[in-house]
Amino acid sequence: MPEFLANGGPIATQNAYVPALTLGPAGGVKRIVLSVLGADACLVQCWRYTDAQHAKWELEQFERTIVGQSIGVVLTSCAGVQIRSATVGVPTTVVAELVREGDVEIQGGSITSATISTTGAIA
C-alpha cells in the first residue's frame, strides 16, 4: 500500500523540515509523487540511494524548488523526501505519495457502461 503524508489529505508546509512533512526514507521505493495545490512554491530535499540494492541512502545537500500548482511531480531514485515552505512565513498546501516496489496501484482505464440483471446477466 502506498504511503501518504497526512493520511492522503492535503497538508500545509512549514518553515522547517518536520516529521509531518517527511516520507521515508525507506528501501524499495519506486517513486514519490508530489502535488503542490497552493499558489506558493515549496522546497524538497531527497534521500538518494547509494547502492544498487536500494538498502542504503543519504540526504542530498541541496533542495529542489517545486513551483505552486504543480500536480503530479514524479521523483524517482529517491528513498524519501522532506518538504518545507519555499518562503518563510508563507505556507503552501501539498499532497505526497511514496510508492514501493510491489505496491498495488490504481490505474486509469476505459469507462464502460453495463447493466446487471437480477439473474446476474450483464447487458
Give dist(CA 85, CA 39) in Å, integer.
12
For 20-56, how does the pLDDT look when each residue is reduced to its tens digit (9 = 90+)?
999 999 998 999 999 999 999 999 999 999 988 888 9
Q: Is 74 exposed, middle or buried (0-12, 13-18, 19+ CB in 10 A)?
A: exposed
Least confident of 42-51, 53-62, 73-82, 103-112: 103-112
Residue 78 contacts residue 32 (beta carbons within 8 Å): yes
What number is the average pLDDT over the span 64-82? 92
Give dist(CA 5, CA 95) in Å, integer.
7
Output the pTM of the full model: 0.81
Domains in the chain, ordered, with CATH? 3-100 (2.60.120)
